[in-house]
């Protein structure tokens, strides 16, 4: 597995249930998943030679982060290795321009866009403002996204290959996780509603069930399945959607892996996204994705102004609540807004879970020692 962050850590917890021997490659000598995998190599998954060497003696290669060296993965594929997701698909998804072109070509609903090479190209589209500028490569968690509401903001825009996406009047942001195995079997998880932190562009609260109308739920699920089928994708993918003011679903972006918007499935659904991931790439039957109970997920983010050795405050208070599950990510250093853990709060009803989650959020903090 390329990458050993928190997604890797939770994948390892599930890998133990299937007797899997997983060897992880990650540049961080203290990567969160390091102590849970069978073998750990400290190295750069963006480097061609490192990935090629790492893949030499493996049966199956996979990822928990999409920003990896795909040339090395393509070479390993030529050598007969099984690679999930397919490196060509990874290349399409790594580049937001190619990703959007794929969606457009396949008539998948997504906001209109233009591709540009450099900042001065934005002038050409001044009649189409407002836009959201997105770097084609390397962006994550809102880094690489710039909101361009007026022409006079061009000065502060990115000067790099990017896409200019029409600004959507967003009513809600939802996410649907879909899995497909090599028998061609597909399954989606019920959608979740994502509420973002106003400054950090990270999910602050996630609600399951999302509460969107049945018709919209059906449409989002159909679109997610259409994407993995058209791509001939095997594995697990998160599809992020906007719901606009007319109630239409538009694909925002794709993540070809387990995702932050599926963490609640560990306690909230019959099969977790981590279980479903292993089933999909090991060609096992996909699990039932039904919701067991309503859940809210909150990300534990590093407190602003705190950089250094991690300290969690308020854990004891949080654990006094019923139906609350804490996941800490084993990160030695905290930084402002860094994802340091998450908490899933379950309830008899979603309203009850929300009420508990709001209290819990105030009780816990991640600071430096």
196 touching ligand ADP, by CB under 6 A: yes
Task: Write the secondary structure of 115-169 as one string of H (helix), E (strand) and C (coil).
Answer: EECCHHHHHHHHHHCCEEEEECCCCECCECEEEECCHHHHHHCCCCCEEEEECCC
Q: Which stretch binds ligand ADP (CB under 6 A): 59-67, 116-124, 141-149, 361-369?
A: 141-149
Residue from the set 139, 161, 209, 211 that interacts with ligand ADP by CB under 6 A: 139
166 touches 111 (CB < 8 A): yes
Q: How many CB atoms lie within 10 A of CB 42?
A: 14
Cα(162)–Cα(164) distance, integer angstroms: 7
Task: Please say which residue, 128 or 140, places its beta carbon nearer to ligand ADP.
Answer: 140
For residue 238, the minimal CB distance to ligand ADP (Å) is 11
Tokens 């990896």 -> residue: 68
Residue from the set 50, 70, 252, 280 that interacts with ligand ADP by CB under 6 A: 252
Task: Please say which residue, 186 or 252, places its beta carbon nearer to ligand ADP.
Answer: 252
Task: Please say which residue, 130 or 314, places its beta carbon nearer to ligand ADP.
Answer: 130
Continuous segment of H or E residues that includes residue 176 = strand 170-180
256 touching ligand ADP, by CB under 6 A: no
Backbone phi and psi for residue 77, each to the nearest 5 degrees, phi listed first: -65, -45
Task: Please say which residue, 173 or 267, places its beta carbon nearer to ligand ADP.
Answer: 173
For residue 203, the minimal CB distance to ligand ADP (Å) is 9
Q: Write the interaction track for ligand ADP spanning residues 148-177; mark x where CB under 6 A is met and - where it is not.
A: -----------------x-xx-x--x----
Nearest by Cα to 172 from 205, 132, 125: 205
Q: Which of residues 94-123 bind ligand ADP (CB under 6 A)?
A: 111
Q: Is the dihedral of CA 268, 274, 275, 276 positive or negative?
A: positive
List of residues contacting ligand ADP (CB under 6 A): 111, 132, 134, 139-142, 144-145, 165, 167-168, 170, 173, 196, 201, 240, 252-253
């Amino acid at each position: 597995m390329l990458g050993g962050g928190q997604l890797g850590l939770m994948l390892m917890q599930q890998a133990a249930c299937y007797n899997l021997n997983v060897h992880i490659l990650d540049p961080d000598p203290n990567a969160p998943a390091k102590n849970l995998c069978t073998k750990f190599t400290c190295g750069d998954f963006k480097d061609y030679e490192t990935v090629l060497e790492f893949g030499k003696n493996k049966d199956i290669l996979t990822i928990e982060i999409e920003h990896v060296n795909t040339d090395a993965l393509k070479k390993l594929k030529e050598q007969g290795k099984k690679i999930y997701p397919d490196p060509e698909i990874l290349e399409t998804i790594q580049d937001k321009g190619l990703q959007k072109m794929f969606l457009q070509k396949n008539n998948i609903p997504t906001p209109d866009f233009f591709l540009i090479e450099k900042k001065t190209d934005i002038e050409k589209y001044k009649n189409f403002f407002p836009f959201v500028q997105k770097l084609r490569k390397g962006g994550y968690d809102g880094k690489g996204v710039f909101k361009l509401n007026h022409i006079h903001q061009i000065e502060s825009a990115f000067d790099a290959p990017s896409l200019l996406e029409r600004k959507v009047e967003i009513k809600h942001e939802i996410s649907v996780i879909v899995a497909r195995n090599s028998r061609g079997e597909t399954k989606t998880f019920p959608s979740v509603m994502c509420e973002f932190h106003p400054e950090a562009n990270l999910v602050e609260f996630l609600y399951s069930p999302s509460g969107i109308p049945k018709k919209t739920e059906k449409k989002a699920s159909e679109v997610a399945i259409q994407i993995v089928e058209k791509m001939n994708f095997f594995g697990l993918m998160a599809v992020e959607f906007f719901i606009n003011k007319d109630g239409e679903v538009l694909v925002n972006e794709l993540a070809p892996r387990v995702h932050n918007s599926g963490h609640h499935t560990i306690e909230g659904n019959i099969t977790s996204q981590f279980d479903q991931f292993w089933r999909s790439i090991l060609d096992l039957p996909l699990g039932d994705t039904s919701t067991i109970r309503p859940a809210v997920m909150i990300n534990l983010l590093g407190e602003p102004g705190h950089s250094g050795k991690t300290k969690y405050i308020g854990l004891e208070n949080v654990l006094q609540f019923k139906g609350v599950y804490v996941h800490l990510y084993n990160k030695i250093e905290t930084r402002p807004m860094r994802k340091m853990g998450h908490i899933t709060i379950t309830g008899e009803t979603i309203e009850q879970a929300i009420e508990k989650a709001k209290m819990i959020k105030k009780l816990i903090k991640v600071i430096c020692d």
